[in-house]
Structure 1
Amino acid sequence: MREIAQVLDFIVEIEKLKNVIRHTRPVGLDRYENSAEHSWHVCLAALMLKDYADEPVDIDRVIRMLLIHDLGEIDAGDKIIYASETAAQKDHEAQGVKRILALLPEHVRAGYFELWQEFEAGESAEARFARAIDRVPPLLHNLHGGGHSWREHQIPRERVFGLNSRIGLGSSALWEEMEKRLQRAVDEGLLK
């Protein structure tokens, strides 16, 4: 029964992800999304796009990665991707993930932390695909929301194309389609 209590405490703690506000607005909404919504969205996107991974992937593993990849934001907060990939931010997120996973029974927590580290490293087929999928919703939010986040944070097209080209590491077909959509955004003056 102790283990059930630990899992329930973990479930209560991760509710806080619903209060971490991101920097893009869901399509058709005036408010910004929260990190829990993002986690759900990328998991469903991964499921729908799994056949476009460049390598065979264990979709269950991908979804588990995507469900835990932002837990560190409960402590570290969310930073726009174009400013978040700093050593300090990554360390703060890692400490947050460790703290939150410590609520789980000991025999479970290490496996989930290793999964989080695998996502961060981006070296396995599953991690490359998960990291590719993680980039898609924010791009779609901007493409269907007047480039709101790009404009607000003054993100130039070179940074958008440069950072998001990693989509191609997990799915070249998906990057090809997203690159076309981004180029249309440039042509239409949405992305400068």
Structure 2
Amino acid sequence: MEHIEKILEFIVEIEKLKDVQRKTKPVGLERFENSAEHSWHVCLTALMLKDYANEEIDINRVIKMLLIHDLGEIDAGDTIVYAGQTTEYKAEEEAGISRLLSILPGFMADEFIELWREFEAGETADACFAKAIDRVPPLLHNIHGDGHSWRTHGVTKEKVFSVNQRIEAGSKDLWSVMRGKLEGAVNAGILK
């Protein structure tokens, strides 16, 4: 029963992710997305695109990574990927994830902190695919939202291509399609 109490405490605490505002707006909406919505969206995206990973992946591990990868934002807040992430921010995010996961029973906390670290390192097939998928919804938000976040933050096409080329490490096929969509955004004047 004690473990259930701890898990329920964790579930209540992570509700705060719904209040972390991101820098992009969902397609067709005027409001900004929150980090909890992003987590749901990337998980479903991973599930739909799992057959296009460069290497064999364990989709359950990928989804776990994607569900926990932004939990540290509850304490650290969200930053735009194009601004880069300072070592101070990464330390604050890791402290946040450690704080949250410490609520859980030890055996669960250990598993999830290792998955978070694996995602951050981005070296395994699962992590490469998860990191690739993490980039897809924000790109689609901008492509289908007249480049709203790119314009607001002065993000250049060079920066967008440079940062998002990491999609290729997880899925060459997906990067090929997304690169084409980005080139279309350039041609349409959405991405300058």
Identical pairs, percent = 62
- Residues 42-100 of structure 1, C-alpha deviation per residue, up to 9 Å, x if partnerless? 00000000000000000000000000000000000001111242211111100000000
RMSD: 0.5
Q: Which residue type is aligned with residue 41 of structure 2?
A: H
- How do 1:167-182 residues align onto structure 2 when only pairs under 5 Å count? 167-182=167-182
| 1:10 corresponds to | 10
1:93 maps to 93
**Secondary structure of the corresponding residue to residue 130 of structure 1:** helix
How does 1:30-41 map onto structure 2 within 5 Å? 30-41=30-41
Give, in whole Å, the separation in 2 of the partners of 1:117 and 1:78: 18
| In structure 1, C-alpha distance between the alignment counterparts of 2:16 and 2:40, rounded to whole Å | 15
The two structures have a TM-score, normalised by structure 2, of: 0.99
Aligned to 1:27: 27
Correspondences of 1:32-181 after superposition (within 5 Å) = 32-181=32-181
Q: Give distance in 1, aligned partners of 2:25 and 2:190.
A: 16
Deviations 1:125-157 (A, max 9, x none): 000000000000000000000000000000000
Give the counterpart letter for 1:183 in structure 2.
E
Measured in 2, the distance between the counterparts of 1:49 and 1:7 equals 30
Q: Distance in 1 between matches of 2:62 and 2:85?
A: 21
User: For the residues of structure 1 that align with 2:181 and 2:56, how far apart are their CA atoms?
Assistant: 26
Q: 1:185 is matched by which residue type in structure 2?
A: A
Kindly report structure 1 stretches of 4+ aligned residues shifted beyond 3 Å. none
Identify the residue that residue 183 of structure 2 maps to in structure 1. Answer: 183
Q: Number of aligned residue pairs: give it.
A: 192
User: 1:145 is matched by which residue type in structure 2?
Assistant: G
C-alpha distance after superposition, 1:102-127 (max 9, x if no partner): 00001210111010000000000000
Separation in 2 of the partners of 1:171 and 1:82? Answer: 21
Instruction: Map Cα deviations across residues 153-189 of structure 1 (whole Å, 9 max, x no partner).
Output: 0000000000000000000000000000000111111
**Deviation per residue, 1:12-65 (Å, 9 max, x gap):** 000000000000000000000000000000000000000000000000000000
Looking at structure 2, the residues matched to 52 and 159 of structure 1 have their Cα atoms a distance apart, in angstroms, of 25
Distance 1:67 1:177 in 2: 25
Q: Which runs of 5+ in 2 are unaligned?
A: none
